[in-house]
Chain A
Amino acid sequence: MVKKQKIESGALAQSVNRAWVFDRVAKGIVFIGGISAIVFIISIFIFIFDQGMGFIAEDLKPGEFFGSEIWRPTSESNPTYGILALIAGTASITGLAMLVSVPFSLGAAVFISEFATGRVKEGLKVLIELLAAIPSVVWGFIGLSIMNPLIVQLFDVPIGLNMLNAGIILGLMAAPIMTTIAEDALKAVPDGYREAAEAMGATRWQVIRRVVLPSARNGLGAAILLGVGRAFGETMAVLMASGHAINLPTSPFDSVRALTATIAAELGETARGSTHYEALFTIGIFLLLITLCINLLADLVIRGGWKRRKL
């Protein structure tokens, strides 16, 4: 009797031990997984800054870099590194893309979250996720082969690869992710709010306008900002649809060139360590910093809401 008890308690101690070991191992693996993201980010920063630093330290003339629209890195006699036109290209395309995608995606999110039910809802969500998974080169192909002749025909302009084309393509590309995030934000609004408002005699539109949208405000803001980030960083589709011409645009029908596309198109043809190469990395640093700002802003928008709610 006594012996049996001893065995049982021994077995118990062992099994607890095994669970404990497993717990420690699992914890370690998860920790490595978590920390690796930070390690990667820091490594990328170091690498890009290291590659671009040479240019910043020696050749950078800030006035020319940010103030000149002449990007002529391969000129033998007088290489000029001005990214103003590239900034204008990226900004104009991103702005146009937002004009296209914000109304579309917010509308889609409201429809999915507030109106669609059952199969329509599930079907739409799957389709939109599918849309988000279309490779950017396919979008670029659509811009090149469908939008291009369409724009030429519709607006009677000589070339259809321009700011309008790239803006629309990018808008369509950014819309699915914005829709998904915005829909999540709307879904997070408690049903009790909707029910309370409807019980007061609010119409569907009044419920959405006065209760749902205001309480999802932060999430919707974050969705838009992440969409901006997506459009801003996109490369391949922009390269194919924008016309890739250095230009300070004066109309949507001007061809433009984006910062990202410039790096993609030129980096492979520069000598490693050359001024041109380093200048491209400096553009990379600039892109990285702006993307970082956008993401931080999106984070702040969400957090700002938390704070207000807690106070």
Chain B
Amino acid sequence: MVSTAKLEFRDLSIRYGSETALEGVNLSIKPNEIFGIIGPANSGKTSFLRSINRMDEMTTGMKVGGSVLLDGTDVRAWRNVFALRSRIGVVFPLPVGLPMTIRQNVTMAPRMKGIKNKAVLEELVERCLRRAALWDEVKDRLDSLGSMLSGGQQQRLTIARALSQEPDILLLDEFSIAVDPVTTMRIEDVLKELKEEMTIVLVTNLVQQARRLADRTAFFLNGKCIEIGETEDLFTSDSRDPLTRDYVEGRFG
């Protein structure tokens, strides 16, 4: 079990100053699964994601305890944090089309790695945009500004950008907040395909989204991981924690 885990969290705790955001989380995420995390606001979901690619190092005051293992190695043991981050794609809640052209948005990560060959980059732009279900809408204006796109398009651009890193792991933090339902569905379809190639951690405040997508789901509440299980069990089993049942059935949160 331990050897097959893509990501493993051992006694993970996260503090902001004196405030505890997350405590005593132990869980492991298997390769090529979509792992859902649900829970109300302030339950520590986003902090959890930030601990994976060491984004805590950008946030002053955020302290991570315990350990996060990626392929069995503590992420903190990576000397080159930039190489670590380049293996992990991140999609933020609000779409961030960087203020450059659509093409430049998608080629930024490979260019930072030193890929300069035009043909390779062109091919990559098309592949990533196709996989993010955006190609048809933007193929004629790749050189217009990415920040000009609509919210839903920008979010798909963000996904294309994350894919251009050719990541092992894709972290999605409430990606559908600023996206219309139709686009959300299209992105969800994309994610189902992508899990063939990568491990996906999906933080969502839409419990039904977790149910549609996730293989396994964890329920976070007030900085604690209440329960982890097969998604279907979490939604239907009688043996689940009463807090989980109340939450997924919409009685609070």
In whole angstroms, how far apart are the Cα atoms of A194 and B85 in the complex? 14
B5 at the interface (CB under 8 A from A): no
A192 at the interface (CB under 8 A from B): yes
B22 at the interface (CB under 8 A from A): no
Contact at A211–B60, with CB atoms within 8 Å?
no
Contact at B148–A195, with CB atoms within 8 Å?
no
In whole angstroms, how far apart are the Cα atoms of A308 and B101 in the complex? 12
Contact at A199–B99, with CB atoms within 8 Å?
no
Contact at A193–B98, with CB atoms within 8 Å?
yes
Residue from A117, A192, A202, A210 in contact with B96 in the complex, judged by beta carbons closer than 8 Å = A192
Chain A neighbourhood of B149, CB < 8 A:
none
Contact at A197–B98, with CB atoms within 8 Å?
yes
Using CB atoms, name the residue of chain B closest to A201. B86
Contact at B100–A200, with CB atoms within 8 Å?
no
Contact at B165–A201, with CB atoms within 8 Å?
yes
In whole angstroms, how far apart are the Cα atoms of A15 and B162 in the complex? 59
A309 at the interface (CB under 8 A from B): yes
- Closest CB of chain A to B100's CB: distance in Å? 7
What is the 8 Å Cβ interface bit string for chain B, positions 82-107, against chain A (1 contact, 0 not)? 11111111101010101110000000
In whole angstroms, how far apart are the Cα atoms of A117 and B158 in the complex? 29
Contact at A210–B94, with CB atoms within 8 Å?
no
Chain A neighbourhood of B108, CB < 8 A:
197, 200, 202, 210
A206 at the interface (CB under 8 A from B): yes
In whole angstroms, how far apart are the Cα atoms of A215 and B100 in the complex? 8
Contact at A201–B112, with CB atoms within 8 Å?
yes
Contact at B92–A195, with CB atoms within 8 Å?
yes
B182 at the interface (CB under 8 A from A): no
- Known interface pairs A198-B55, A198-B85, A309-B145; A206-B92 also in contact (CB < 8 Å): no
Chain A neighbourhood of B86, CB < 8 A:
200-201
Chain B neighbourhood of A210, CB < 8 A:
100, 108, 112
In whole angstroms, how far apart are the Cα atoms of A311 and B158 in the complex? 21
In whole angstroms, how far apart are the Cα atoms of A114 and B25 in the complex? 33
B183 at the interface (CB under 8 A from A): no
- Known interface pairs A117-B60, A206-B112, A309-B145; A199-B98 also in contact (CB < 8 Å): no
- Known interface pairs A193-B98, A211-B98, A215-B99; A201-B58 also in contact (CB < 8 Å): no
Using CB atoms, name the residue of chain A closest to B84. A201
Give the interface SS of chain A, mostly helix, strand, loop or mixed. helix
Contact at A193–B92, with CB atoms within 8 Å?
no
What is the 8 Å Cβ interface bit string for chain A, positions 195-226, against chain B (1 contact, 0 not)? 11111111100100011001100000000000
Residue from B55, B60, B82, B88 in contact with A202 in the complex, judged by beta carbons closer than 8 Å = B82
Chain A neighbourhood of B148, CB < 8 A:
309, 311
Chain B neighbourhood of A203, CB < 8 A:
82
Chain A neighbourhood of B147, CB < 8 A:
309
- Closest CB of chain A to B75's CB: distance in Å? 13
In whole angstroms, how far apart are the Cα atoms of A179 and B5 in the complex? 50
Chain B neighbourhood of A190, CB < 8 A:
96
Using CB atoms, name the residue of chain B closest to A210. B108
Within B7-63, the residues touching A (CB, 8 Å) are 53, 55, 58, 60
In whole angstroms, how far apart are the Cα atoms of A199 and B148 in the complex? 22
In whole angstroms, how far apart are the Cα atoms of A211 and B147 in the complex? 13
Contact at A201–B98, with CB atoms within 8 Å?
no
- Closest CB of chain A to B125's CB: distance in Å? 15
B194 at the interface (CB under 8 A from A): no
In whole angstroms, how far apart are the Cα atoms of A166 and B149 in the complex? 49
B6 at the interface (CB under 8 A from A): no
In whole angstroms, how far apart are the Cα atoms of A109 and B83 in the complex? 28
Using CB atoms, name the residue of chain B closest to A191. B58
Beyond the given pairs A201-B83, A201-B109, A206-B112, 19 more chain A to chain B contacts, judged by CB atoms under 8 angstroms and listed by A's residue number, are A193-B98, A193-B99, A195-B92, A195-B96, A196-B158, A198-B55, A199-B53, A199-B85, A199-B88, A200-B86, A200-B161, A200-B165, A201-B82, A201-B87, A202-B108, A210-B100, A210-B112, A214-B99, A309-B148
Q: Report A's interface with B, CB cutoff 8 A.
A: 117, 190, 192-203, 206, 210-211, 214-215, 308-309, 311
Identify 9 residue pairs between A and B in the complex whose beta-carbon atoms are under 8 Å apart, listed by A's number: A192-B96, A200-B89, A200-B90, A200-B161, A201-B86, A206-B112, A210-B112, A214-B100, A309-B147
Q: Report B's interface with A, CB cutoff 8 A.
A: 53, 55, 58, 60, 82-90, 92, 94, 96, 98-100, 108-109, 112, 145, 147-148, 158, 161-162, 165
